[in-house]
Amino acid sequence: MRDLAELCPGVTHSLQRLYAAYTEARRSETMVAAQFADRDEGAGARYEGNPIERVRDLIEANRNYFPDLESAAEALRDEINVGSEDLFAALSTRLREKHSTVVRIMPVDVMRETLRRWDRHRRQLLISELVDGPGRAFQLAIQIGLSEGSSIIDGIVARGGPLDDTPRKLYRITLANYFAAAVMMPYQAFHSAAETLGYDLQVLGQRFNVGLEQICHRLTTLQRPNARGVPFFMLRVDNAGNVSKRFSSGTFPFSKFGGTCPLWNVHSTFDTPDRMLQQVVELPDGSRYFSIAQMVRRPAAPYPQPQPRFAIGLGCEIRHASKLVYASGLDLEKIQGTPIGVNCRLCERENCSQRAEPPLTRTLILDENTRRVSSFSFSSAREL
């Protein structure tokens, strides 16, 4: 730092401005969080006590990359030495020979709403017949992760600091899922294929015998220092706009509260279920991202239960988009980005016809004699 200050005196002022901006950002975030916490306090739901947000913070702190689990998963695949199409059989054999656990595919009327259950006393791993092929291999890999990778998982959890029982269990489950994905898509082979194929999700799914959601989730974890992939962000939403999954190895500013912007075409995938949609989006600060989105269906559900549907969004900063086959033929520098916000409560864009709420940082202005494009008018100055 001393050498830097001597060689580039101006950097000290830049660091001061950066710290001032950081302080202002934290103050604004604290203000927004406090308002939401006050709203939810009557229901006893505060952010500090939310185990899902606590685990998400831990994942983000690790940039969604856990090298110890990656190494263990690669070692396992090297040891069993089979292709993706034979993985389920190989994992079943390993559970039987190394853990005295028999894998059984069970009828839905026996499993009911349960997809996987380990019977500790009978040493049986029961999988519902509703789970598809890639899902069955994934569930077996989770069980092996909880058994053979338990000490690694415990070490990662311990490094996360003091945790209550609920977030600790959720963190362990999350890490076991991470291990399972790494077993199905070993880092080196998967990274090499993704780069060679231009991140073609359909071909990657066929090559590694996994689903679209599994592929997108795995792509957010490619952060090995000597073999980094495109720093993707990913989210999963339902048709009501609820965000049930979000991961980022890049810089996309997901909100911890509320849904997403309705102008983001991830929501349009429910109208075009068999199409992959592309979009360039631009945030209020001018940062631009390239995103792709498609609707996915969960495995069949027994009648009359509806088959769950989700929209999967995957994106990256615009400077990385040229590596994706989905951006082929697009002039990324000239194409106009769709102006979106993080969500309505945190977006300060004016005159948005799809605004559902005014921003928390502005004062609402009401005029009974005027009706504008947006349902809400607000002050141009921030409310501190």
pLDDT (tens place) for every residue of the chain, 384 residues total? 777 777 777 777 777 778 777 766 665 655 555 555 555 444 444 445 689 889 999 998 898 999 999 999 999 999 999 999 999 999 999 999 999 999 999 999 999 889 999 999 999 999 999 999 999 999 999 999 999 999 999 999 999 999 999 999 999 999 999 999 999 999 999 999 999 999 999 999 999 999 999 999 999 999 999 999 999 999 999 988 888 898 877 678 887 766 788 899 999 999 998 899 999 999 988 999 999 999 998 877 888 888 889 999 999 999 999 999 999 999 998 899 999 988 888 888 888 888 888 888 788 888 887 877 777 787 776 655
Same domain, 165 and 291: no
**Three-state DSSP class for residue 365:** strand
Closest C-alpha to 375, from 363, 360, 365: 365
Give the pLDDT confidence score for residue 382 in this predicted structure: 67
Closest C-alpha to 347, from 364, 367, 362: 362
Same domain, 162 and 220: no
Same domain, 244 and 311: yes
Give the pLDDT confidence score for residue 46 in this predicted structure: 44
Give the pLDDT confidence score for residue 353 in this predicted structure: 84
Asked if residue 369 belongs to a domain, the reply is yes
Give the pLDDT confidence score for residue 196 in this predicted structure: 98
Give the pLDDT confidence score for residue 42 in this predicted structure: 45
Do 127 and 115 contact (CB within 8 A), yes or no? Answer: yes
Q: Is the peptide bond before 304 cis (omega within 30 degrees of 0)?
A: yes
Asked if residue 114 belongs to a domain, the reply is yes
Same domain, 160 and 139: yes
Same domain, 90 and 170: yes
Tell the burial category of 312 from Cβ atoms under 10 Å away from its Cβ (0-12, 13-18, 19+): buried
Same domain, 262 and 374: no
Same domain, 149 and 220: no
Same domain, 298 and 343: yes
Same domain, 200 and 148: no
Same domain, 166 and 205: no
CA dihedral for 205, 68, 82, 196, sign (positive or negative): positive
Asked if residue 17 belongs to a domain, the reply is no
CA-to-CA distance for 3 and 363, rounded, in angstroms?
Answer: 47
The one-letter amino acid at 365: I
Q: Which two tokens stand for residue 345?
A: 């409560």
The one-letter amino acid at 196: T
Residues spanned by the domain of 142: 67-184
Name the strand (E) or helix (H) holding 111: helix 108-111
Closest C-alpha to 174, from 90, 51, 316: 51
Same domain, 174 and 297: no
Same domain, 109 and 200: no
Q: What is the CATH number of the domain that holds 266?
A: 3.30.450
